[in-house]
Amino acid sequence: MSRIIGFLMPFVLIRFGGEEVYGKFAFILNTLSTIIAIFSSGISNVVSRYLSNKDEKIETATFDELLVKSMRLILFVVASSVLFFAFGNLWFPEFAYIKVELFLGVLYILFTLLGNFIIGYHYAKQNYIKLSIAIFSSSLLQLFLLIPAAKFYGLQGVVIVYIAYSLVQLWLLLNDEIQFSLGALKDSFARFSQKMNGDQSLFLKFVLPIILASVAVPVSLWYANHQVALVFGFSDLGFINIALQMQVIMAFLPTIFNSMAIPILSKTFKTGRKEFAQYFKSLAFKTIASSGVIFIIIFIFAKQILLFYSPNYVAYSDILRIFSISFFLSVILNIIGVVILSVASMWWGTILNVIWALSYVAGIVYYVPVYGLIGFAYSYLFSYSIHLFSVLIYTFYFFRKNT
């Protein structure tokens, strides 16, 4: 349902506010999402991996450490975001046009960061039905509120709807499942300060590499959005974000498959290699098949898809087709990424993501001045091609060493 919202959101904003309004909101959401991704991208999957331990004493200690350090991190992110939005226009002129909406977005950052931590808990407990209900219900509410908000309150109304959506989803995820009261938080802090947890190095194991890896990818994407807004304007930025929304749609089912696979792959790699191989083959087949259908639809009907949003975007159909090839490559890469996350060192995931980010920025620097807006699609394709090559080399090395 959340993917349907993502698909319809550009249409609603363009229909009721115009391409410029949608472009501005796309930049706001991209900015907020980048800040969230820097500090929590993949955190749900990693929490899922580390809380899958059946030993209740170890699990409680691990949860305490994850919770305490996550709360500290969230407070730091919120404070840093306020400062960034207050003075960001000194470096990024486009901030001046959306400053109020960015400050409102701090609440969205807060609720989403908390939600990402809790989602990881539900994955570890395999509470898939509860997780699906929470996401579906909050997304349905968002769908009902988005149209009147865009029509009567404009850009600020849409931002407020997104804040409400993140708050409702957080409440549904917490309800009757996790004692997330102030008293429970105090208990976790107390246990953590008494060093009841057995692994003080958990932060270095995954939080630090997760942050470094997460800085590389979303920051490079945000840099691309900034360049589009600066050089081509918010209207063309709207098209770029519609194109990137197709990547989210293509990865919808694969994301679900991958999240469910991490605890299973992590366990079977240590206990049953044959079972691990069978499950991985099943994961790869489901992922490629589901995303392949969407890829074919986007590639063949690119013109009709863009016409649904705005007649002015139809001229960019070839750019969308180039993007779609990159999106399919990214889905394939995510399959291998799940294996790396499940069984390998987080630091290797960081290195591989940095390679992608550097390739993408290098592509922008080279292709955009020569080819214009289509240069962003070429940059995307170039970076994912380099990334696929580097990931395959590492995967071959890892399994040769560990099998």
Note the pLDDT of residue 323: 94
Long-range (24+ apart) CB contacts under 8 A made by 29-35 are 29/162, 30/221, 30/222, 30/225, 30/241, 31/102, 31/105, 31/222, 32/102, 32/105, 32/108, 32/109, 33/218, 34/218, 34/219, 34/221, 34/222, 35/77, 35/81, 35/84, 35/109
188 with 313, same domain? Answer: no
Note the pLDDT of residue 35: 83
142 with 240, same domain? Answer: no
Note the pLDDT of residue 317: 94
1 with 64, same domain? Answer: yes
**Full residue range of the structural domain in which residue 310 is found:** 205-403
237 with 180, same domain? Answer: no
**pLDDT of 336 strictly over 60:** yes
Domain boundary among 200, 216, 249: 200
191 with 263, same domain? Answer: no
68 with 162, same domain? Answer: yes
**pLDDT of 303 strictly over 80:** yes
Query: How would residue 270 be classed by pLDDT, with cut points 50, 70 and 90?
Result: low
* Pick from 321, 324, 285, 284: nearest CA to 303: 321
Note the pLDDT of residue 402: 61
Give per-residue pLDDT as tens, 36-49: 877 665 555 555 55
Cα angle value 79/84/89 (rounded, 5°): 155
253 with 360, same domain? Answer: yes
151 with 280, same domain? Answer: no
Domain boundary among 185, 200, 215: 200
Long-range (24+ apart) CB contacts under 8 A made by 366-374 are 368/227, 368/231, 373/228, 373/232, 373/236, 373/239, 373/240, 373/316, 373/319, 374/318, 374/319, 374/322
Note the pLDDT of residue 198: 46
Note the pLDDT of residue 382: 94
The pTM for the full model equals 0.72
Distance CA 144, CA 344 (A): 43
**pLDDT of 350 strictly over 80:** no
The total number of structural domains in the chain stands at 2
Are residues 47 and 207 in contact, defined by beta-carbon separation less than 8 angstroms? no
What would the two tokens of residue 82 be?
């306020």
113 with 213, same domain? Answer: no
Domain boundary among 200, 223, 250: 200
Give per-residue pLDDT as tens, 212-230: 666 777 788 888 888 888 8
What would the two tokens of residue 24 be?
């501005």
Radius of gyration of the chain (CA): 21
Note the pLDDT of residue 58: 46
More confident residue, 316 or 182: 316
Cα 289 off chain centre by: 22
* Pick from 261, 258, 320, 266: nearest CA to 294: 320
192 with 271, same domain? Answer: no
Note the pLDDT of residue 30: 87
161 with 227, same domain? Answer: no
Give per-residue pLDDT as tens, 95-105: 888 889 999 99
pLDDT > 90 in the chain, percent = 18
Note the pLDDT of residue 285: 83
284 with 365, same domain? Answer: yes
pLDDT > 70 in the chain, percent = 70
